[in-house]
Structure 1
Amino acid sequence: MKKILVIEDNGEVRENLEEILELSGYDVLTAEDGKVGVEIALTDPPDLILCDVMMPHLDGFGVLNILSKKSSTANVPFIFLTAKAEKSDFRRGMNLGADDYITKPFYKDELLEVIETRLRKSEQLRKQFDKTEQGLTAFINEAKGYEELRKLSEERK
């Protein structure tokens, strides 16, 4: 079961998100502010982080800045979920490395679609092969497949 960390200072929004995600089959961790969110993420790295921007103690931009520098959380998909819809805030979040930016209010289906997309992409990027002979063979076979596709693509040009 995929684990999602929700960092949101508004208790009602946090509880609603937790319920939506749990009913959709996710394991959910919650934090009431950025400082607590960073502590949870570093202690128990999630598969994805949903984070508000405006929070006490440490805002969402600070959370992303800290977690993107830690090896255990640098590649965890990070989605801002916020009422701040100004283009400058959106750009700042994306420049810091956010994977997506959803503005409140949002539709449940939109949120779940974004989460699924980010988790799928993350899984593809993280595809790991064990460090045994079989793992190395699987890695080489997969790499050969990509090389063959590249050659076919080149031939079609």
Structure 2
Amino acid sequence: MITALIIEDSRDIRETLAEMLELAGYYVLATGNGVIGMEMAKSQKPDIVLCDIMMPDVDGYTVLQCFRQDPELGNIPFIFMTAKSESSEVAMGNKLGADGYLIKPFDDAALFGVINSKLDPLTWPPSVK
């Protein structure tokens, strides 16, 4: 089963995203806090991370930098979710090593399209245990 970590400060978005992923057979970890998200990643080793950029405690850029500097987390596909689609935002994420972007609001086709493009095809589709 594929494990997805959602780091999103909006409860509504976080819960909706978690439900979409769970219905597709994912095991979902979710938090609204970047620091807690990093701790969850270290203990649970998710297969993919979906992270908001603008959060009140630690922004998504900082979370991504921490992932890329950690040998255990550095290769996990990391997808930014953002309401901002300015080229400077995308450029910053690319510079830090983001693997993809979802521009809010997005639908399930966009969500699973970006996830599918980043996961190992040998592990897709997820098997429900």
Q: What is the TM-score when the length of structure 2 is the normalising length?
A: 0.91
- Unaligned 5+ runs, structure 2: 124-129
**Structure 2 residue 111 is matched with structure 1 residue 108:** no
Give the corresponding residue for 1:79: 79
Listed as ranges, the matches of 1:26-45 within 5 Å are 26-45=26-45
Show CA shifts across 1:74-126 (max 9, x none).
00000001111111011100110000011001111111111011012697xxx
Give the corresponding residue for 2:58: 58
* Alignment RMSD (CA, Å): 1.4
Give the corresponding residue for 1:143: none
The CA deviation at 1:29 is 0.2
Ranked by relative contact order (alpha carbons within 8 Å, sequence separation 6 or more), the top structure is 2
Give the corresponding residue for 1:150: none
Measure, in 1, the Cα distance between the counterparts of 2:74 and 2:122: 12
Moved over 6 A (4+): none
Q: Is the 8 A contact 1:5 1:30 kept in 2?
A: yes
Give the corresponding residue for 1:138: none
Decide which structure has the larger Cα Rg and report it. Answer: 1
Q: What is the TM-score when the length of structure 1 is the normalising length?
A: 0.75
Specify the SS of the correspondent of 1:76: coil
- Unaligned 5+ runs, structure 1: 124-157
Show CA shifts across 1:32-88 (max 9, x none).
111111111111110000000000110000000011111110000000011111110
Specify the SS of the correspondent of 1:50: strand
Q: Is the 8 A contact 1:76 1:122 kept in 2?
A: no
Measure, in 2, the Cα distance between the counterparts of 1:56 and 1:37: 13
